[in-house]
Chains A and B, each alone.
Chain A
Amino acid sequence: MESRTEFKIKSPPTDAISAVEFGPNSTQFLLVSSWDSTVRLYDIHANTMRLKYNHDLPVLDVAFQDAVHAYSGGLGNTLKMYDINSNTETIMGTHDKPIRKIEHCTAVNAILTGGWDAAVKLWDPRSPTCVGSYLQPDVVLALSVCGDKFVVGTAKRKVCIWDLRNMAGMFQRRESSLKYQTRCIKGFPNEQGYVLSSIEGRVAVEYLDTMPEAQKKKYAFKCHRIKENNVEHIYPVNAISFHSAYNTFATGGSDGYVNIWDGFNKKRLCQFHRYNAGVAALSFSHDGSVLAIGVSYLNEAEIPPGGSDEREIYIRYVNDQETKPK
């Protein structure tokens, strides 16, 4: 389904898409990491691939540090920094196990990685060294920076909040308010809280403030479920991305839908059409005008819906109607 508000990116990766991310201050460049062991940079204005570099093994996440530096890691356990201007790559270091999540924290200008070795590591962008490794209770499945803090979601539904200003110990330790495995976490741009999604078609809105009145506001809701033949199919919510200005967020599920929500008013703002496979990754551009949608089959169902080789990146220009709280 092509229209003027949405188009597919040409020459997509040859395997499932693991992450998409827009550059920090332009809507032009999009980083895409993939299970085909590559990281690609697309120019979405011209709809061309600008460059591509390889890892040894599938890449699970990628992050921009600034407009010209990308960090990527995956099953190869290695964190790579890629300089887009000079086309040079630097190996920053390794985890003991695959790296699942990479985030750039602007507050301290450092790179955070979370891995299946139950560690979160902090990297100094200017020297290829790890400056801190912080043990988590379990395998890291989700990680998001939220201002001065970052939120780690691990297996067994643990949620750990760390304060970058004081990394001597965990800032808060919680259990996920959802009953199923954590799939994705994203911090609100206004740094008040975070949104956590699970594999069981459900999303929780949580607040960092531990005061009872703040905690009273937290809630969870069901989504990404499809009723077929009287059986409700419940899909994992794979991706969350925030609109930086409105604090609304998009969720993408394995059902192939993208929904945009107004978390503060508990409203769904819109739903896009169904994509041919699950939505694996989402990224709003810095100004919230463009949403990149990575569509891939992630082996969530035994039988892939509509062909397992679906792997596309859609670029959708969103408008205020779709993203602004009403």
Chain B
Amino acid sequence: MENQVAQAARVQEIIQKWNKRRDLIIEMLHDVQSEFNYLPLPALDQISHEVGVPHSTLYGLATFYNAFSLTPRGKHQICVCMGTPCHALGAPRIVEALERHLKVKCGGTTEDLKYTLEISGCVGTCGLAPIVIVDGELHGFVTPVNAPKVLDKYSD
């Protein structure tokens, strides 16, 4: 219960920060997503109510844009870059190695909610290809063999 109150208060702050503006709901969703690691349903209710947009619109945005998720993501976000240079240098094999290591399919979250494994569009640091990004931190020159070791740092 307390958690819900705190969550509602935080969402209210976010809505206020963007002045309840209809054209800024994507910014609000960004902030909610980075605050809670996903878009909780009550938060969407709140935005819908406060800004005056139908739920269907928010659902549309949440499912259209890759940055948003309606289910909780793991504590640590693992993104394997799938830009062309990364692909050409073996990124798909890194995804498979991580899938095996974490026992989760790409796009999924581990049962303990620790890791979410995803692929991302090109992050534009092709000089380091192939790249794995964990919680926004870039790791370059990853190989299928050392990929699991990249996660050691994020084992908490």
Q: Do A and B come from one complex?
A: no
Q: B residues within 8 Å of A by Cβ? A: none
